[in-house]
Amino acid sequence: MATKDDVSRERLFTRRALLLGAGQAGLLSVLAGRIYYLQVVESSRFQTMAEENRVSMRLLPPSRGRVLDRGGEALAVNRQNFRVLLNAEQAPNADAVLAALSEIIPVGEADRRRVLRELKRRRSFVPVAVRENLSWHEVSRIEINAPDLPGISIDMGQTRYYPFGPTAAHLVGYVAAVAESELTGDPLLELPGFRIGKGGIEKIHDVALRGRAGRSRVEVNAVGRVVRELDRQEGTPGGDLSLTIDMALQDFATKRLAGQSGAAAVMDVHSGEVLALASVPAFDPNLFTSGISARDWDELLHNEYTPLINKAVAGQYPPGSTFKPVVALAALSAGLVTPEFRVNCPGHYDLGDSRFHCYKKGGHGSVNLHEAIAQSCDVYFYELARRCGIDRIAAMGRALGLGERTGLDLPGERGGLMPTRDWKLRTSGIPWQQGETLVCGIGQGSVLATPLQLALMVSRIVNGGIAVQPRLTRELVARDGGFVARPPEAQSIGVKRESLELVIKGMEAVTNTQRGTAYAARIKEPEMAMGGKSGTSQVRRITMSERDAGLHKLKDRPWRERDHALFIGFAPVSAPRYAAAVIVEHGGGGSAMAAPVVRDLLIETQKRDPSRRQPPGAPSVAALGRG
């Protein structure tokens, strides 16, 4: 018979069992509810997550647009490029993977450090290019060893190629890898091996040439390897860019200046189209496509002939006597002189206690404006400069395109310098001196100009005083709409045509009269004859003692202390169509060194003029007039 204690214990056990059962039932209910929620309510979300884990979305880099010359000759194109990539998300130990890869193909220590650095700063799923431009043998070795190289993959892309190398380097520029400071959040810029424009036209029109990215959905397995492509949407290729440059003429100019350090510019005086813009020596832009070596970069950086600088737009030089037409126009426009005004040149000009020499030791005797331009008499222009004053000269220089950037669509252009009284006081705190005006009157002292500016100056003189602007871009052809670059409507510079004609006649006499300074460099074919102006830009002032000792001669001075040789020209004289400017750094006399180059350039330019190849009965170049 159960005792009272037994009954009490049984009741306690039953109560506990019920509580335990209730707790278990509650937990099972919660578990069942959670399972229902995950499998039924949230099923679509988890299905999407699983799908996204299996499907990878990848950007497709667009094909970069080509750069062409005016005739369709390719200056920048794309080539097939096999490269090896490393994806940090699939490679737990990137350093070990790179070490294993270096036993299969050459991977330098610098490349390894670069890859590890980029892996740290980029998102883990963004692959990094280890090596580019792989050979078929290297590609096959990597594919064979793929199981032992987690995170390594082969990608086929495009690399930029410049068929003309150094000849068009400063014009076209180059592309290179995106620097960390250039990342703007655009995922396209983070693609492995993606290149952007870093110089020249490639930089100015980078966005238009770059295009828009496409996308590809691919199925991947558990280790991230691509199983198959599900769909693909191609991007928009970059537009093809057409330049005003005539590549045959550009090549001719580069070869004509070979062995020198200098620059040349050729342009159409009416449209402003730049036909050639050469700077020598130059560099091979293909070196930058896959990454220039430290040795090659050091050689370019420390080369005394500065191949990295585009001397045609960034080289600033005293223009020497090529500046004298500016002074002549300033004096004529101000009514300070007439064509008949004469100055006696005894070989020097005295101002107070200072004596300013003419390049011709014995002097030119009595000369008028026409003779002074033809014979480049310094004393005549000392007198004109004194009468004008520096501010009038500077105003005329600016009207002709000097002293400010031309606005050409190339990076790195510099504006030269047209000094004024205010400029001197503002920059140095010292008042302008009249002797400085005389020195500037022959293109020395503070006056600085680029070869392109000098070609522009000639253009505005011989085209009737129209403020034409130089331009390099001709047309962009793109799928989403391109453009045709049309010159803006040019205004007059406000100089009387009679004054321009007087200066033009003087420049014609420079090359076409026996007493002209560049008669030896004349173009003998009458229908192609040129006019021009020589200039010799002094690099270092020759002291009186050196002059008396005969040490002022070119051959007695180190190369860097020799004068620059300049020449500006136009052709044909009967109806000017083309202007050219050349500088030969430390080349000596402009008539001897630079004038023959301009002559050859203008001959070649006119030979390539389509109007000269028109069928019989078509209007000749001479019949076109000055326009």
On the 0-12 / 13-18 / 19+ scale of CB atoms within 10 A, 263 is buried
Query: How long a stretch of residues is the chain?
Result: 627
By CB atoms closer than 10 A (0-12, 13-18, 19+), residue 609 is middle
Tell me which amino acid residue 456 is: L
Asked if 601 and 451 count as a contact pair (C-beta separation under 8 A), the reply is no
Taking the C-alpha atoms of residue 498 and residue 332, their distance in angstroms, rounded to an integer, is: 9
321: closest CA among 267, 401, 378, 268? 378
The neighbour count for residue 478, using CB atoms within 10 Å, is: 17
Strand partners, 56: 218
Provide CB contacts within 8 A for 334, sequence distance 6+.
Answer: 388, 392
Cβ 276 vs Cβ 266: under 8 Å: yes
Q: Do the Cβ atoms of 594 and 534 come closer than 8 Å?
A: yes
Q: How far is CA 616 from the centre of its chain?
A: 41
Structure tokens at 192: 């492995």
**Per-position DSSP letters for 232-266, written without gaps between them:** EE--BPPPEEEES--HHHHHHHHHHTTTS-EEEEE
216 is catalytic: no
Q: CA–CA separation, 299 vs 287, rounded Å?
A: 12
Q: Maximum distance among all alpha carbons in the chain?
A: 157
Beta bridge pairs of residue 216: 58, 232
Task: Please identify which of the residues 321, 446, 534, 591 carries the catalytic annotation.
Answer: 321
Of 451, 498, 469, nearest to 594 by C-alpha is 451
Does residue 408 contact residue 313 with C-beta atoms inside 8 Å? yes
- For 446-543, strand residue ranges (E) read 473-477, 483-484, 531-537
Structure tokens belonging to residue 516? 């002209």
Long-range contacts of 401-407 (CB under 8 A, 24+ apart): 401/453, 401/456, 401/457, 401/459, 401/460, 401/467, 402/326, 402/447, 402/449, 402/453, 402/457, 406/313, 406/452, 406/453, 406/456, 406/469, 406/470, 407/469, 407/470
Q: Which residues are catalytic?
A: 321
